[in-house]
Each structure stands twice: as structure tokens, then as C-alpha cells.
Structure 1
Amino acid sequence: MTHHATQPIDGQKPGTSGLRKKTRVFMEPGYLENFVQAIFDAIDGAAGKTFVVGGDGRYFNAEAIQTILKMASANGAARVIVGQNGLLSTPAASHLIRLNGTDGGIILSASHNPGGPDEDFGIKFNTPNGGPAAEGVTAAIFERTTTIDSYRKLDAPDLDLSALGDASIGDMVVSVVDPVADYSALMASIFDFDAIRSLFAGGFRIRFDAMHAVTGPYATAILEGTLGAPAGSVVNGTPSPDFGGGHPDPNPVWAKDLMDVMMGDNAPDFGAASDGDGDRNMIVGRGAYVSPSDSLAVLAANATLVPAYAGGLAGIARSMPTSGAADRVAEALGVGIYETPTGWKFFGNLLDAGRVTICGEESAGTGSDHVREKDGLWAVLFWLNVLAARKTSVAEIMADHWKTYGRNYYTRLDYEAAPTEGAMALIDGVRARLGDLPGQSFAGMTVSQADEFAYDDPVDGSTSAGQGLRIWFEGGARAVLRTSGTGTEGTTIRCYLEAFSADVLDDMTLLDGVRAATMELAGFQTHIGRTDPDVTT
């Protein structure tokens, strides 16, 4: 039997990065099947097509992949390329889609969210360019979930995904591939591996925290194996279904062990971490944390030191909440700067059109035109290439960058799992007053401008409205308020604060004023009962 009767299941609307729910929701009968069938139906079927399938190894990953393979076969797919043991980092999956010219891919991950039977799971469809599905595609998938009445699934035994090579399920070929090999070759084509090898040979020390997630095998193979970093440079390198009981989000809160090492005595020269599915990064020097916004700007400013970007950048793109540090670099380089909504899919058109080379988000995601996803290990290798070329420390690179461009002081406050009613009242309350805010003062700061960000895609002309509330204050400080689409319970409010100085380069208190003004303006205490966030980055 291949046809199974079903009925729509509420709540299968993809967010900024696919569909994310609690793992036990995905494990309910028909839940995963409905959504996968909706993907196939929304792209005019799977017959004769080739797909990439893989995930970050979190709980239920292996079982979900077996279901997807049986459904792909029942829907007539010709071939599926899957990572050994079901593992593929998100950037590696994007590369395989592009390298093999497939019809897209299904990636199983909830990114930086915790994993386990009582934690989070996710699924998203990436299109043939290797990037996350555009809004039109995700809308079609969701629409299909509201009308679906059957799904196709082959009744067949599970495949052994530990064995490399071709196998079959029904009439469909399943190619089990080394998840690291093609990605490693791509990195070698971008960076000066000889220079990085020389860096390590000279005694340079690194600590890469894979956070028990998917980048462990990639980092071990490339950093320790290919580039010669000392054994043990990669820690927490074995992927775990529950990420070792931790939270695989590379920031100073959840990667505290790394921060303690890097801020302590006898710290390594360089520290880095990546997240659950390998698309995010955190960069730390000895005694020097680098914010994601600053990291994007520094990499753009030093791009010509990397062989693949030696000819210069076509342009730079950043998400709207990301600081304006990259804008200053783009101006100095004489290249375009593009401000997009949050969500990597918005960079895809710009990359495909050749308008930008490097792009990034403040939420620890940086990437380039080598794939159509953000890429954590790529960012780490980029930093190592720059350090090898400049022969100086992370702290010295940051000091030189701020001296040249000024400093965009920046922080993000996350209010996680806030009561949805209060969170929406806070956001809706600010939205309703946007037109009246200019000229008003809060905690001693006067609003100069306020709006709700809407994006007009310069490539395809599409418009994405409702992408976050922006408030500027006299003197140039800025606050951004938006809700996040990556959580699975309650509502997460993200509050982004920014202040610029051309000459005061080491004083984080410059953000105190805009923080106090934003708390008062938005009524955080009134609506959600607190002004202190769960996570500060």
C-alpha cells in the first residue's frame, strides 16, 4: 500500500526557517507525512526528480529520514542523496544540492534549538539554488497542508544509512555519501589552506566547540585532519541526539565553557563554536569576544586576503536588525549594501543575481556566494585565513577595525517564551504609535524617526511587509523590536540596540541610554512583567 488517507493538521505553517515544533508533535501519526507530501505537491510532484536529504542528528532525525525516503520513492523520485547516518550540516546540504544540480533538498533541523524527545524538531525545503524556499514556495506548502487528504508512502524496510554507496528503495536510488568530503573540498577551493597550516605549525592554538552537534565531524576532519591543528582542538565533537543535554546556540551564554577558557589564563589564540546544524558561528579571540555584526564587517573589510575573494566583493548584504558596521565597510569599498528582512532566504536572490558576495545576520550567521545558506565553519576558516595573512591577534584586528571605521556598539536582548498575549500587546502597542513617536522623549532620549520595515526585493520586485519595528533616536542610536519565528512555545521578543561612536571605542555603557528609552517606550515591564532578558548577546 502506498496511498494513505489523511486529513489536514492545524499549525503546519512554516516560519522563517521551515516548520518547527516540539519533537513529540512531529512524532504524532501523519504529522511528518502530511508536511512532506505537501512539499512534494507544492513543487509539482517528485516524479523523476533528485533530492538531497539530511539533518543535524537530533532526536527523531534517523526515523524521519527513513519516512522521507519511503515517501520520495512512493512519489516517483528517481534518486535521493543522503548523508551517511543521516547527517548533513545545513551548508553541506546546500552545497550538495548545487554540486549535483538536484531539484532541491529536505533538511531536518531546528538549528540552534535544543534537541531531545521533549525538545525541538524542524524540517525545511531548500530549492534547486541550494537556499531556503522563498515565501511563495512556503506559502504553497502551507496551503497544501490545509487541503491534503492523502499521502504516499512505500511499505518497505528501513535502509542501512551507515554504508556508503548506492542502494534502492522501490524504484528509487538512494546514494549514501560521506557528509564531509565534498564540503571539505569546497573549503579548500576558497581558502589558503597552506597559510592556515603554517599558522598551526607555528604554534597557533585553537579551541573549536562543536557543542555536541553536526559540525563536530566537519571541524575534526578539516581543522585537525587537513590543516594540522593539534589533536583535541575540537571539543564536544561527537553529534548527540540531545546535544549532550545542552543548548547548541553559539553565544556567550550557551557556549559559556568556551568563553571561560578564552577569557582565562593561558587562553588559546582563537576560539569558535557552531550550532546544531552547522550554519551559525561564534568568534572569540584571547580575551576578545567578536559580535556577529562586527564579524561580518571585519570579514568584508579583509575579504581580499582570501583567494576566492581576492578580486573584491560585488556587494554586501545584512539583515535589518544587524548593526550598520558592514554599511561603513561597503561605503569605504565603494560597493552596494543591501538591508533585508531576517531569514537567509532573502539573500538568495541577491546572491543568484551576483549583486552581493558576502552576507550576514546578527544572529551568528555569516556566509557568501559559495552556498545559499549561512555557514559556521566557513566563517571560522575565513577568520583563520585573515589571521594567517595579517599575523596579528583577534583583539588587534578588532581595535584596528574600530579605529578605521568607528564602532557600532550593539547588543541583542532575547525575552524567550514570553506570554503570547503580553508579547503581542507590546509589539502591537508600539506599532500603533509609530507615527506619533517622533519628537517624544523616553528616559531622556528623543525619538527622531520610527517605522515598520518592509523590503522591496530589487531582483524580483516582491515586497515583504511587517519585518520589524525600527526606532531611531537623536544622536543616531537605534532600537529594533520583532518577534522570532524560531521558537516552539510562547513568543520570543528580540530587542536589538545600537549606538555609534567614531572615537569612543571601548565603552559599552554607550548603550545604556537607548536601552532605558526602549524599555520605557515599549512598556516591557507592563506587558511581559520584566525588563531583564533571558539571553544577552
Structure 2
Amino acid sequence: MSRITFGTSGWRGILCEDFIFDNVKVVTQAIADHITDQGEKGKGIIVACDSRFMGDRFAKEAARVLAGAGIKTFLCNRDTPTPVVAFEILRRKTAGAVNFTASHNPPEYNGLKFSPASGGPALPETTQDIERRANEMLGEFCYKEVELDDAQRQGLLEEIDPRPAYLADLEQKVDFAAIARLGGLAVNPLYGTARGYLDTPLMERNIPIRLINAHRDPYFGGFPPEPAEKNIQDFIALVKGDPAIKLGIATDGDADRFGIVDEDGTYIEPNYIIALLLDYLVRVRGMKGGVARSVATSHLIDAVARKHGVEVYETPVGFKYIGELVTQDKIIIGGEESAGLTIRGHVPEKDGILACFLVAEMVAREGMSVRALLERLYSQVGRVVTKRENITLSPELEDRFPDKMGTTPSEIAGTRIKDVVTIDGNKFLLDDGSWLLFRKSGTEPVVRLYGEAASPERLKEVMAAGKQFILS
């Protein structure tokens, strides 16, 4: 049987291959044993799923196994956004949640994510313990199951609707009155869990919206459910073709990532959104504290932080590390280049719904388009251009890659390397402010190459030099 492996966001696999009911039950039992050994069995656990194939079936099977372990399940009554699950963990003070989601992965995938009582993604020591327990039990009948009706009669199952409490909380964190003055918005839940979350608060205020892809489709329209530019061309065309639309907002399949389209149809990279929101939250809302970004995320954030005298925390890739800083109340905002962010006082988890509404609030209160806001920011802190590429390695290059990362050249792209950051991959900081990051995939022969520079021309040179360094 295939080994259970937890990545940065849980265990994921292809449906009917390694992601099957027997394996799901084993992993659920491993989580039940982990919770029991942590002394948190009596707190109960939330079980949820996204809008993928079989998600509700997997959730019910997990509830049966948890009931067999004597752990009460709060079972969500429909597919539920990941940030809403995090909010409900904190609101109910449960031992955590089992969430069946593969986030932005293609439709043939499903996944199981465990979030602990903190509400954020589980840290490595937690996932390693669950992974070890699961792999020791693979192929064994190691769990007891209770029928759902019996679990309900025994007080071990309660069906819940977490939507009203979450939306009520958003009322305290988003200025919807300002958004109402913005005018028309285009809204795209991308066939995923944000249906009824991304649109309802706007419709309740009679804010004009153009809603697209707002029904459940486990195929996600034939694309991976990620609001990246290449996947949302229908949405971009909608925004571009309607002069009444002032902003387009989109979320991924489980609503923890965001996608922003400006009024002229321009897709705005998530890196720039995080920097703009940092500036907005400090300058307009008057929030105080630090900012966190992953090692792969834009240093435009650092430039904004210098402008406001804000401390920057650089973390490994994986929102769990940013979530820890939110829990410790050290930061105003934390974000990753892969379109995840949260703010102080909110959940220690990525929230694409909140991100979209904050951008809408910012555009409304500033009275400027996103591109205009970005140009203004560039005039104050300097221009930054970012890019990411995947480089496929031959078997020979993959074998040599560790040795390659063990040596640092004196310069790259004609510029001296002034420092190397190794908290997650190898990041070369150059004298002219440019940088390159090399991160090896843990599951395939691919190196992720991230680069940043002050102009598109310089970025092209830096990325070419980085690719040559890997392939030479």
C-alpha cells in the first residue's frame, strides 16, 4: 500500500488510487489517537470538506471513525471554506478539524488536512506524529466505526452550519459600507466553497455584482481551482468587457487563496496585493505591528515596511509559520506569494474571502484602481518585478542538485552575491537589490526558481542566470 505523506498542507492523493476510503479511515484513526494522547479528546473535532468529488462521503466516514474512538464530531452541513473551518475551531474551542480538501490541486485530487486547536495549519511535529501513526497501521483493521444515526443518539455527532457566525465576524473586520460606495464588482467563487460567502454579504447590501461560476462543479470548469491568471480568462474577459465593474474578486476551491482583477481586466499578482494591503492597513487603518512573508514572497513588502518602520519576519514556505506569528499577535498582516494572507485578530490561516473584501475596501476608500494604487506605491518605495518558473531536472541533474546548492558562486547575473538565506531552499541576495530563490520540490524532479528585480529587463537577466546555474 502507498505510504501516507503529509506535505505543507496535509495529505493529498489521486482519487481511487492512493486517496481511498481505507486509507482515509486509517489517517482519521491516527488523528484520533493523536488527539487522545494530547489529552484533548473531550473537546470534539470539526469535520468538513470542499466541493470535490466524494468530499461529503469522506467526511461522513471520518465522522464514523471518530465516533468509534469516542470523539464528538461537529459535521459541517455543506462544503465549507478552509478559513471558515479555522474560525469555527476557535469559536467552539475544539481539538481541531479534519478537512477534506486538496485546495487548488486539479480535480482528480483530494486531500485530508488536520488543523489543531490553534486554528492554523498543523506544525511539522504534529503532522509527523500523525503520519507515523498512520503508516504503522496501513493495511490493518485498526479502527472502530459507529453508524451516523447511532453516533447522533450517543451525542457523538452534531451537524453544524458555520456560515452565519463567520459572516457576522467579517462585519467587524471589513468596511462593507465603504465597499457599497465602490459600485459594481465581479465575483468568482470558482465553483468552490466560497459560494454563499463571497457573494451574500454584497447582495444583502444591494451592491451590484456580476456573479460567475457560482454553482458546484467538481471539475472546476476544466481547470485547476486556482484563481491564477491562466485559469480565469473567462472572469478577466467579464471584467474587461463591463465598464460598470470596478473590481474583480475570486477565490480558489477551498477559498483560502485569492485572485484580484483590476477594473481594466488586468490580473494583479498576489505579491503586490500583500504589499498594498500592508501599506493600507498601516496608513489608513492605523494598525501597528510587524509583517510576515515567506522566503519566496516579494521584497516589495520589505520596502513598504521600511517606509512605515515595521518589522519584517521572513518564514519558510508554508502558512503554518505565518499562522504562528498571528497566534502570537506579532504581525498586522502575513502573506505568501501563492495568494494566501490573513491579518491581526483573524484566523491564523489563509483567508481568500477576507483578502478579497479587504482589497475591495481599500479600492473604495482610496478612490483609485489597484494599478493606480500600485503605481503610487512604486513612486514612494521603488519598483519591484517578480517571477516564478519551474525547472524540470534530468535524473543526472537531480542527483547533482544537493552539491550544487552546497556551493555559492561569488556573483550571478554580473552582480556580487552579498548574502545567502537558507531557511527554505537557497536564496541569493544580490548587491543591486535583486534576488533568486531555488527550492527543490519534495515530490517531483522540479526546482522552483523565484526571482525579483527592479525592472522587467533586469529580472529577465537574473532569471536566465539562475536557470543556467541550475542546468550547468
TM-score after normalising by structure 2: 0.92
Give distance in 2, aligned partners of 1:277 and 1:218.
11
Percent identical pairs in the alignment equals 28
CA distance in 2, matches of 1:247, 1:191: 29
Give 2:378's aligned residue: 402
Residue 41 to residue 173, structure 1, CA distance change in 2 (3 Å) = closer
Correspondence for 2:129 among 140, 158, 163:
140
Pair 1:366-2:341 in alignment: yes
> 1-side partners of 2:439 and 2:452: how far apart?
15
Corresponding letter in the other structure for 2:215: T
User: CA-to-partner distance for each residue in 1:411-432, whole Å, 9 max, x for gaps?
Assistant: 11235xx468467346425313
Find 1:191's aligned residue among 163, 170, 174: 174
8 Å Cα contact 1:19/1:123 also seen in 2: yes
Assess if the C-alpha contact under 8 Å between 2:26 and 2:143 holds in 1: no
How many angstroms apart in 2 are the aligned matches of 1:514 and 1:497? 7
Work out whether 1:82 is the aligned partner of 2:56. no
The partner residue of 1:293 within 266, 271, 277 is 271
Q: 2:450 aligns with which of 480, 492, 496?
A: 496
Change (3 A) 1:34 1:347: same
Map of 1:279 onto structure 2: 256
Does structure 1 residue 357 correspond to structure 2 residue 340? no
- Following superposition, the deviation at residue 385 of structure 1 comes to 1.1
- What does residue 186 of structure 2 align with? 207
Q: Which amino acid aligns with 1:80?
A: T
CA contact (8 A) 1:70 1:169 kept: no
Contact 2:291–2:311 (8 Å) recurs in 1: yes
Give the distance between the partners of 1:243 and 1:83, measured in 2 at CA: 21
SS of the aligned residue for 1:412 comes to strand
Q: Report the AA paired with residue 494 of structure 1.
A: R
Query: 2-side partners of 1:290 and 1:239: how far apart?
Result: 26
AA at the equivalent of 1:445:
G
Check conservation: 1:26, 1:32, Cα contact below 8 A.
no
The aligned residue for residue 30 of structure 1 is 22
Letter of the aligned partner of 1:88 in structure 2? T
Residue 277 of structure 1: how far off its partner (Å): 0.6
Residue 146 of structure 1: how far off its partner (Å): 3.1
Cα–Cα, structure 1 residues 82 and 26, in superposed 2: closer, same or farther, change >3 Å?
farther
Number of the residue aligned with 1:153: 144
Q: CA deviation at 1:265?
A: 6.9
- The question of whether the paired residues in 1 share the 8 Å contact of 2:35 and 2:95 is answered with no
Matched AA of 2:364: A
Q: In the alignment, which residue of structure 2 is the partner of 1:448?
A: 417
- Counterpart of 1:174? 157
1:301-380 superposed matches below 5 A: 301-304=279-282, 310-369=285-344, 370-380=346-356
* 1:110–1:396 Cα change, 3 Å: same
Question: In 2, distance between residues paired with 1:492 and 1:60?
Answer: 30
d(CA) in 2 for partners of 1:422, 1:254: 33
Q: Please, what is the CA RMSD of the aligned residues?
A: 2.3
Aligned residues of 2:67 and 2:157 also touching (Cα < 8 A): no
Residue of structure 2 aligned with 1:217, choices 196, 204, 211? 196
**Alignment of 1:18 onto 2:7:** no
| Residue in 1 that maps onto 2:245 | 268
Contact 2:420–2:429 under 8 Å retained in 1: no
Q: Who is 1:128 aligned against?
A: 117
Quick one: which amino acid aligns to residue 258 of structure 1?
F
SS at match of 1:54: strand
Q: Any idea what SS the aligned residue of 1:169 has?
A: helix
- Could you give the per-residue CA deviations for residues 295-332 of structure 1, whole angstroms, max 9, x where no partner exists? 111101001577xxx34131100000001111122222
Structure 1 60/275 Cα, relative in aligned 2: closer, same or farther at 3 Å? same
Distance 1:399 1:32, change over 3 A: same
Compute the TM-score of the two structures, normalised by the length of structure 1. Answer: 0.81
2:469 corresponds to: 521
Q: Distance in 1 between matches of 2:177 and 2:311?
A: 32
Query: SS of the counterpart of 2:384?
Result: strand
Deviation of residue 267 (structure 1)?
7.2
Range that drifts further, 100-109 or 386-395? 386-395
For the structure 1 residues 402 and 390, does the alpha-carbon distance in structure 2 shift closer, same or farther, using more than 3 Å as the test?
A: same
Task: Please tell me whether residue 40 in structure 1 is matched to residue 40 in structure 2.
Answer: no
Structure-2 residue corresponding to 1:164: none
* Letter of the 2:136 counterpart: T
| Structure 2 Cα separation of the partners of residues 422 and 38 of structure 1 | 38
How far 1:345 sits from its partner (Å)?
0.6
Unaligned runs of 5+ in 2: none
* Matching residue of 1:457: none
Aligned to 1:68: 62
CA distance in 2 between partners of 1:286 and 1:429 (Å):
47
* One-letter amino acid matched to 2:236: M
Deviations 1:441-494 (A, max 9, x none): 5xx52341464522xxxxxxxxxxxx1121233422111111346xxx744432
User: Residue by residue, what CA displacement relative to the aligned partner does 1:169-203 show, whole Å, maximum 9, x if unpaired?
Assistant: 3623433223421221111110112222233xxxx
1:92 aligned onto 2:84: yes
Asked if 1:389 is matched to 2:383, the reply is: no
Match of 1:111 in 2: 103
Name 2:389's counterpart in structure 1: 413
Given the superposition, is the C-alpha separation of residues 262 and 423 from structure 1 closer, same or farther in structure 2, using an over 3 Å criterion?
farther
Cα separation, 2, equivalents of 1:491 and 1:250: 25
8 Å CA contact 1:278–1:376 kept in 2: the answer is yes
Q: Which amino acid aligns with 2:4?
A: Q
SS of equivalent to 1:218: coil
Bigger shift: residues 329-338 or 22-31: 22-31
* Residue 44 (structure 2) aligned to one of 37, 42, 50: 50
